[in-house]
Amino acid sequence: MLGIGVKRIIFSIYREDIDKHTSAPSYKRNQFKKYKEQIIGNHQAYAKLCGADYKLFTDVESSYDVIQFQKISMIKKLAQEFDEVLYLDFDVITNTRLSFFEHFDLNKICAYNIDTTIPDEVRGYRIKDDNWHPMDMYLKSCCKNAMLLLDDIDNSNLVINTGVIGVNKKSAQLIDFSKCYGVYHKAKEDNLYPTEINSKWKPNNEVYLTYMIERYNLPYTNIGLQWNFILDDSHREISSAAYFYHVVNKDFGLILE
């Protein structure tokens, strides 16, 4: 049942001429261009189903890393105007007639927590691998945990993926990255991780959001794999049980054709 009198918005971000970044090679850029209108149509149809407005923001920063923080700022800003906000990365394709807004309590920050645990049989040599990518989720969990350990707080191998985030006015106000900046820089200098790990850390919205939730015990719901079903080089098989496909590998044709 649609929330009567509740102002909702679903939004995404897309910039065609984004600066060069290892997470945005030419293939992925071209895939976005090819399927742009279909993605917009998919998002618009889902917003209509949910009784929500839809907005695609294109006037955003050109830096890939800056955009990751900008989307969090935009979530907070839109939550001042709308009662409920759902952010979707532009590579998220919806595949359900269930309303996200009706399914989750947005008094809590709603997103997907990924378990980054490395199997014991490969952990030894992986930790000493010097080829870590700054966007690796395990690397992010180490950074987040180093921040938590500064206050002797129990940590986990979980890191939130910010490709799908749902909040309302109340929960959006709880996200305050200003509490993270100094802690991050201190943890960068004072941590127990080998150089192969900590030398690759950089400020990251997923690290900060997970840190905030675990450090301050913020109200949070793990939306689960169905609502952020990640397709990448390791997991390429689609599933009819997925509600939202997060097409990290940008092979949109598997779903949209």
Q: What is the pLDDT of residue 214?
A: 97
Q: What is the pTM of this model?
A: 0.94
Q: What is the pLDDT along the chain (257 residues), one digit of tens a residue?
A: 455 689 999 999 999 999 988 888 999 999 999 999 999 999 999 999 999 999 999 999 999 999 999 999 999 999 999 999 999 999 999 999 999 999 999 999 999 999 998 876 666 656 667 778 889 999 999 999 999 999 999 889 999 999 999 999 999 999 999 999 999 999 999 999 999 899 999 999 999 999 999 999 999 999 999 999 999 988 889 999 999 999 999 999 999 98
Task: Tally helices (H) and strands (E) across the chain.
Answer: 10, 9
Burial of residue 22 (number of CB atoms within 10 Å: 0-12, 13-18, 19+): exposed
Distance CA 244, CA 88 (A): 9
Burial of residue 223 (number of CB atoms within 10 Å: 0-12, 13-18, 19+): buried
Q: What is the pLDDT of residue 119?
A: 75
Which contiguous run of DSSP H or E holds residue 80? helix 64-81
3-class state of residue 84 by DSSP: strand
Q: What is the pLDDT of residue 2?
A: 55
The amino acid at residue 10 is: I
Torsion of CA 14, 18, 21, 27, to 10 degrees: 70
The secondary structure of residue 83, as a DSSP letter, is: S
Nearest 5°: CA angle at 52, between 111 and 246? 35
Nearest 5°: CA angle at 24, between 188 and 68? 50
Please report, for the chain, the start and end positions of each structural domain, with discontinuous segments joined by +.
1-104+223-257, 114-159+174-218
Q: What is the pLDDT of residue 124?
A: 60
